[in-house]
């Protein structure tokens, strides 16, 4: 972000890290100065490395601070974008259903008959029509008014009687009569309850032959609907969430005291988190438009989420980041910083390690060098620890982003599903009230009524394509008509007896029944929900005539919902029932395993098939009366899992533990040992066998035919002249088949006086420490080890201290003469480790000339 520097003063944790890292930079400068003044000769070989290390830490500090600020901003941006995008997408999906509603209701036979009737007939049928419209509103509770007008705008019938209106002057009437289909308008109108703005859907009513009889207007509960949306998106008032029009004016918001309706907001580029100002305060804000739904784009509004900089970074998202410190993340920037820090730390450990080797060869002059090395070691550990804290903070922020994102996506998926199924419950109850269906059902069995019913149901199914089939059955449970059944092959066939029994119990038009999620012979698309409503006669007893069953095309529709929610993200989305059974998923195979791994948890970090995921499972709270007060509960949860990174089994870093020689068991001559790491092992050689540790950078690989040599590395001899050194791999010597980590790799220059080339490079994973150890701590290797580990001469007990406290650890004591180093290695009889010396002094500490 270009304005990241403006945000850092509002990020307390970033400021703390910046201050601590700068203070450590000053400490490094003091150490350099002290070494240059106090022991210039002894420290001559390490001073360049100290300067280079300090400079690299300074550069890393800048990258860390920038990345921390970027991750914090990105985490907040994710939340803002998610809220804004969800709000506009949910609204547009909802309004898409409204366009279908107004089109379908405008073709209703009773509506057409009423609009085309004489004034006297309309007056006589006024009560009946208002009752029918009231029934419609009771099912589709998203409308607060339904109005029928004649072509001149005179009101023929309406539900809202709070404001008397004989005729409307709204140009909507003329626009609907001129349009080929539905018309959508949001503006001030005399059709609203108070004359204020209203969201209206209108369509002309035709007589079936092209004659326009009037206009149907549905008034959407817009403000009420947006309060539902905002309540599910924002749980506190720190964030303002608003809808804005093309001019940037606020149409509706979650908190009028924060950002009032009618306020004009500064223009922002779409889908970008930017700094902006409003009412004298600075905000981070993002506005998002909808990409549309099935070709419908909505009123072209945008949703904008904004939060004041004063409160934007107050521990936002901390709860979501608990745990998971060892979970790998597919975050290239974080990987690069980790690798950079590892490389600097490895170089610093190497220079301290080499300095300790050098100090062991000095006499009285070693005291000052040891003091410098001790300060380097302490400051290096402090710096590593503080950098590690900053990297963990980065990791925690990035992980928190993922966990909040999956929770938001799962909540969105559950909300979309409930809103969709709300419409299905509405449809079945409304179609059960169709006079045409009731009349044809009463006509009795036969091919003619079956064809007529099939035609009616085909027309409806053609408009509402989310259904696999619509079926009308009689009181005995026999199919009387079905959609998508051109030969009437289903007529006379029985439906599921449970549907018939359920329909008999539905005593009023507001009740409905939903089958379990299961397969049905009426649908070849797999398990699904079937919605059932009862059809009653118009007689006084309201005799039970049968019912209507609408079969939801679950496989297609649920998968489409999940696909839209997941988008291009790596992971999966699924709907699961209360028992964990997967009903639909973007990746069914993985969904089964992840659903089982979650158990009863609502949020979890999971590992499945070698990949870590952040997962969330959310049960929707229902929508309006659906599942909140109608007695129905499908028990479905939305599960979303996003990929975090590939599993890494080797998470232990031995360099994080400080090694020291264990306390003396008895008085005796101490040993100087050089400790290093190879795979899962801590190993040691006598310091007399080790010249120095050098970087692998610049090593030239050699063909496999030159084994055991893996490469050639240029080093400097005592006179500073370059020499090529053959390098062998300790992992291959020990038979470790799996590869090292990317951050592993140091070359030890070791002595083998028995070889023609007495100096050989030994590639190890890392250097750990140079210790002074009591000889009594050395124990011979167990008998028999010489057959499969001939290089093992014994084991040494030392102490390791870390975050968990101190603990004894064993270090393998190696005999370099038993390594397969090539170049005429002499045969050494495997007489057992006890017969081997503990390490005789070798050649001088300078690199010898090759023979």
All structural domains of the chain, each given as residue ranges with its CATH number in brackets, are: 76-316 (3.30.450.20), 424-556 (3.30.450.20), 654-835 (2.40.50.180)
Residues 270-292, buried b or exposed e (16+ Cβ, 10 A)? eeebbebebeeebbbbbbbbbee
Tokens 């040993």, residue? Answer: 671
What's the rounded Cα separation, in Å, for the pair 17 and 24? 11
pLDDT in tens, 694-712: 888 889 998 888 888 899 9
pLDDT in the model for residue 26: 79
User: Strand 611-619 relative to strand 637-646: parallel, antiparallel, unpaired?
Assistant: antiparallel
Q: How do beta strands 582-585 and 530-536 pair? A: unpaired
pLDDT at 368 over 80: no
pLDDT of residue 233: 83
Residue 273 has pLDDT above 50, yes or no: yes
pLDDT in the model for residue 325: 67
Q: Is 116 left (phi over 0), alpha (psi -120 to 50) or beta?
A: alpha
User: Of the given ranges (23-37, 360-374, 640-654, 798-812), which has the lowest mean pLDDT?
Assistant: 360-374
Residues 417/626, Cβ–Cβ less than 8 Å? no
Look at strands 274-278 and 637-646 and give their pairing.
unpaired
| pLDDT for the residue 840 | 32
Quick one: tokens of 293?
A: 């739904």
Q: Give dist(CA 470, CA 716) in Å, integer.
A: 86
Greatest mean pLDDT among 186-190, 362-366, 535-539: 186-190
Judged against a pLDDT cut of 90, whether residue 519 lies above it is answered with: yes
Give the containing element (helix H, strand E) for 55. Answer: helix 47-105
Give backbone dihedrals phi and psi of 529, rounded to 5 degrees, phi first: -100, 140
**CA atoms of 802 and 407, how far apart (whole Å):** 35
| Nearest partner of 28 among 2, 59, 54, judged by Cα | 54
The pLDDT mean for the chain works out to 85
Count of helix runs (H) and strand runs (E) in the chain: 16, 35
What are 250-261's pLDDT values in tens digits?
Answer: 999 998 888 999
| Mean pLDDT to the nearest integer, 345-361 | 74
Q: For position 799, what pLDDT does the model report?
A: 86
Q: Determine which of 29-38, 125-134, 724-733 has the lowest per-residue pLDDT on average.
A: 29-38
How far apart (Å, rounded) are the C-alpha atoms in residues 653 and 666?
32
> What are 371-400's pLDDT values in tens digits?
777 777 777 777 777 787 888 888 888 898
3-state secondary structure of 280: coil
Nearest to 98 by CA among 216, 195, 189, 205: 216
**What's the rounded Cα separation, in Å, for the pair 772 and 659?**
11
Q: What pLDDT is attached to residue 684?
A: 94
Mean pLDDT to the nearest integer, 583-607: 92
Sequence-distant contacts of 148-154: CB under 8 A, at least 24 apart: 148/111, 148/114, 148/115, 148/205, 148/214, 148/215, 148/216, 148/217, 149/173, 149/214, 149/215, 149/217, 150/115, 150/213, 150/214, 150/215, 151/177, 151/212, 151/213, 151/214, 151/215
Which H or E run includes 199? Answer: strand 197-206
Judged on CB neighbours under 10 Å (0-12, 13-18, 19+), 683 is buried
What band does 844 get if pLDDT is binned at 50, 70 and 90?
A: very low
- The whole-number pLDDT of residue 836 equals 29
Model's pTM, two decimal places? 0.80
Beta bridge partners of 261: none
At residue 837, does pLDDT exceed 50?
no
User: What band does 667 get if pLDDT is binned at 50, 70 and 90?
Assistant: low
- pLDDT tens per residue across span 621-637: 899 999 999 999 999 99
Tell me, what's the pLDDT at 822?
63
Q: What is the pLDDT of residue 28?
A: 73
C-alpha–C-alpha distance, residues 399 and 79, integer Å: 14
> Percentage of the chain surpassing pLDDT 90?
52
The Cα–Cα gap between 498 and 109 comes to 31
Instruction: Report residue 668's pLDDT band, with 50, 70 and 90 as the boundaries.
Output: low
| Confidence (pLDDT) at 675 | 93
DSSP state letters, 404-455: HHHHHHHHHHHHHHHHHHHHHHHHHHHHTT-HHHHHHHHT-SSHHHHHHHHH
Of the given ranges (294-298, 614-618, 785-789, 814-818), which has the lowest mean pLDDT? 785-789
Contacts of 260 (CB under 8 A, 6+ apart): 250, 253
DSSP state of 249: B
Strands across the sheet containing 479-482: 479-482, 467-474, 544-552, 530-536, 513-514
* Model confidence pLDDT, tens digit, residues 811-827: 999 988 888 776 533 33
Gap between the terminal Cα atoms of the chain: 60
Q: Supply the pLDDT for residue 1.
A: 42
Q: Residue 31 corresponds to which tokens in the numbers above?
A: 């150490």
- Structure tokens belonging to residue 714: 């240029």
Closest among 491, 471, 450 to 546, alpha carbons compared: 471
The number of beta carbons lying within 10 Å of the beta carbon of residue 804 is 8
Greater pLDDT, 707 or 429: 429
Q: Which of 612-621, 753-762, 824-833 is most confident?
A: 612-621
The answer on pLDDT for 289 being more than 50 is yes
Q: In this predicted structure, what is the pLDDT of residue 20?
A: 82
The mean pLDDT of 476-503, rounded to a whole number, is 95
Q: What is the pLDDT of residue 124?
A: 95
Which DSSP category does 619 fall into? E
Over range 569-579, report the average pLDDT: 94
Whether the per-residue pLDDT at 846 is higher than 60: the answer is no
**Nearest 10 degrees: CA dihedral of 731, 734, 739, 740?**
-50
Q: How many CA atoms lie within 13 A of 251 on its CB side?
A: 25
Pick from 395, 841, 473: nearest CA to 644: 395
Q: What are the residues whose beta carbons fall under 8 Å from the beta carbon of 116, sequence distance 6 or more?
A: 207, 211, 213
Q: Positive or negative, the Cα torsion across 23, 29, 31, 37?
A: negative
pLDDT at 649: 61
How does strand 681-686 pair with strand 670-678?
Answer: antiparallel
Q: What confidence tier does 8 reach under pLDDT thresholds 50, 70, 90?
A: confident
Q: With 60 as the cut, is the pLDDT of residue 850 above it?
A: no
pLDDT at 361 exceeding the cut of 60: no
pLDDT of 319 higher than 50: no
DSSP secondary structure string for all residues of 337-403: HHHHHHHHHHHHHHHHHHHHHHHHH-STTHHHHHHHHHHHHHHHHHHHHHHHHHHHHHHHHHHHHHH
- State yes or no: pLDDT of 832 exceeds 50: no
* Mean predicted confidence (pLDDT) in 150-163: 93
pLDDT classification of 833: cutoffs 50, 70, 90 = very low
Query: Taking the CB of residue 464, how many other CB atoms lie within 10 A of it?
Result: 18
Residue 836 in tokens: 């081997």
Q: Is the distance from CB of 654 to CB of 345 less than 8 angstroms?
A: no
- Cβ proximity of 156 and 149 under 8 Å: yes
Length of the chain: 851
pLDDT score for 447: 84
Single out the residue of 412, 404, 318 nearest to residue 603, CA to CA: 404
Top-ranked range on mean pLDDT: pick from 119-128, 309-318, 691-700, 752-761: 119-128
Q: How much is the average pLDDT of 674-689?
A: 91
Quote the DSSP letter at residue 838: S
Looking at residues 566-579, what average pLDDT do you find?
Answer: 94
What's the CA gap between 197 and 249, in Å, rounded? 13
Q: Which residue has the higher pLDDT, 388 or 189?
A: 189
* 841, pLDDT greater than 50: no
- For residue 830, what pLDDT is reported? 36
Residues 779/794, Cβ–Cβ less than 8 Å: yes
Higher pLDDT residue, 198 or 209?
198
Say if strands 759-764 and 722-729 run parallel, antiparallel, or are unpaired: parallel
Report the pLDDT value the prediction gives residue 161, as an integer from 0 to 100.
86
Residue 238: band (very low, low, confident or very high) from pLDDT cuts 50, 70, 90:
confident
**Lowest mean pLDDT across 53-67, 299-313, 702-716, 735-749:** 53-67
Among 337-346, 549-558, 599-608, 788-797, name the one with the lowest average pLDDT: 337-346
């Amino acid at each position: 972000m270009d304005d990241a520097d403006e945000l850092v003063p509002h990020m307390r944790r970033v400021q703390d890290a910046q201050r601590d890292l700068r203070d450590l930079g000053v400490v490094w400068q003091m150490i350099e100065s002290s070494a240059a003044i106090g022991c210039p000769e002894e420290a001559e070989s390490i001073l360049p490395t100290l300067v280079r290390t300090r400079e690299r830490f300074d550069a890393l500090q800048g990258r860390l601070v920038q990345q921390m600020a970027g991750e914090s901003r990105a985490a907040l941006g994710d939340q803002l974008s998610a809220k804004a995008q969800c709000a506009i997408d949910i609204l547009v999906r909802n309004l898409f259903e409204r366009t279908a509603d107004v089109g379908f209701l405008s073709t209703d036979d009773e509506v057409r008959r009423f609009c085309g009737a004489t004034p006297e007939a309309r007056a006589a049928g006024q009560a009946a029509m208002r009752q029918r419209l009231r029934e419609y509103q009771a099912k589709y509770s998203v409308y607060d008014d339904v109005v029928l007008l004649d072509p001149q705008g005179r009101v023929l019938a309406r539900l809202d009687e709070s404001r008397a209106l004989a005729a409307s002057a709204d140009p909507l009437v003329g626009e609907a009569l001129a349009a080929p289909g539905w018309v959508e308008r949001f503006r001030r109108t005399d059709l609203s309850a108070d004359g204020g703005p209203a969201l209206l859907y209108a369509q002309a009513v035709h007589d079936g032959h092209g004659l326009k009889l009037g206009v149907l207007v549905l008034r959407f509960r817009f403000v009420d609907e947006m309060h539902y949306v905002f309540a599910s998106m924002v749980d506190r008032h720190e964030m303002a969430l608003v809808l804005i029009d093309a001019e940037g004016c606020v149409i509706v918001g979650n908190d009028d005291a924060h950002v009032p309706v009618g306020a004009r907001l500064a223009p922002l580029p779409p889908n970008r988190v930017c700094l902006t100002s409003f009412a004298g305060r600075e905000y981070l804000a993002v506005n998002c438009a909808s990409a549309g739904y099935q070709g419908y784009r909505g009123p072209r509004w945008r949703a904008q989420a904004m939060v004041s900089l004063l409160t934007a970074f107050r521990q936002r998202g901390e709860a979501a980041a608990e745990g998971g410190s060892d979970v790998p993340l597919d975050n290239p920037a974080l990987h690069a910083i980790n690798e950079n820090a590892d490389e600097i730390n490895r170089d610093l450990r190497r220079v301290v390690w080499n300095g300790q080797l050098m100090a062991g060869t000095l006499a009285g002059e070693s005291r000052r060098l040891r003091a410098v090395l001790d300060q380097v070691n302490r400051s290096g550990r402090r710096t590593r620890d503080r950098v590690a804290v900053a990297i963990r903070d980065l990791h925690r922020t990035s992980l928190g982003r993922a966990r909040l994102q999956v929770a938001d996506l799962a909540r969105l998926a559950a909300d979309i599903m409930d809103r969709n199924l709300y419409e299905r419950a509405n449809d079945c109850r409304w179609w059960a009230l169709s006079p045409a269906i009731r009349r044809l059902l009463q006509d009795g069995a036969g091919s003619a009524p079956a064809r007529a019913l099939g035609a009616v149901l085909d027309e409806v199914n053609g408009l509402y394509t989310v259904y696999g089939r619509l079926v009308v059955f009689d009181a005995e449970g026999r199919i009387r008509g079905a959609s998508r059944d051109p030969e009437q092959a289903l007529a006379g066939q029985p439906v599921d007896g449970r549907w018939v029994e359920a329909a008999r119990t539905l005593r009023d038009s507001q009740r409905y029944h939903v089958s379990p999620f299961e397969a049905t012979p009426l649908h070849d698309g797999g398990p699904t929900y079937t919605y059932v409503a009862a059809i009653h006669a118009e007689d006084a007893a309201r005799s039970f005539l049968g019912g209507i069953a609408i079969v939801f095309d679950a496989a297609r529709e649920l998968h489409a919902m999940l696909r839209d929610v997941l988008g291009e993200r790596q992971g999966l989305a699924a709907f699961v029932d209360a028992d964990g059974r997967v009903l639909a998923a973007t990746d069914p195979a993985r969904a089964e395993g992840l659903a089982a791994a979650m158990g009863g948890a609502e949020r979890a970090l999971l590992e499945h098939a070698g990949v870590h995921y952040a997962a969330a499972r959310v049960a929707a709270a229902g929508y309006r009366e659906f599942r909140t007060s109608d007695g129905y509960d499908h028990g479905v949860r939305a599960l979303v899992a996003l990929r975090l990174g590939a599993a890494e089994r080797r998470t232990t870093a031995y360099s994080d533990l400080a090694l020291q020689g264990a306390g003396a068991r008895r008085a005796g001559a101490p040993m100087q040992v050089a400790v290093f790491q190879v795979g899962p092992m801590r190993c040691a050689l006598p310091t007399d066998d080790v010249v120095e540790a050098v970087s692998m950078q610049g090593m030239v690989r050699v063909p496999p035919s030159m084994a055991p040599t893996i490469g050639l590395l240029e080093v400097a001899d005592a006179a500073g002249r370059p020499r090529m050194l053959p390098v062998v791999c300790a992992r291959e010597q020990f038979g470790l088949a799996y590869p090292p980590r990317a951050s592993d790799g140091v070359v030890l220059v070791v002595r083998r006086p028995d070889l023609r080339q007495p100096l050989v490079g030994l590639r190890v994973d890392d250097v750990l420490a140079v210790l002074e150890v009591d000889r009594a701590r050395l124990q011979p290797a167990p008998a028999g080890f010489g057959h499969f580990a001939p290089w093992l001469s014994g084991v040494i007990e030392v102490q390791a201290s870390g975050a968990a406290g101190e603990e004894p650890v064993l270090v393998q004591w190696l005999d370099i003469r038993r390594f397969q180093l090539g170049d005429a290695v002499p045969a050494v009889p495997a007489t057992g480790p006890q017969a081997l010396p503990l390490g005789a002094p070798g050649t001088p500490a300078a690199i010898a000339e090759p023979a």
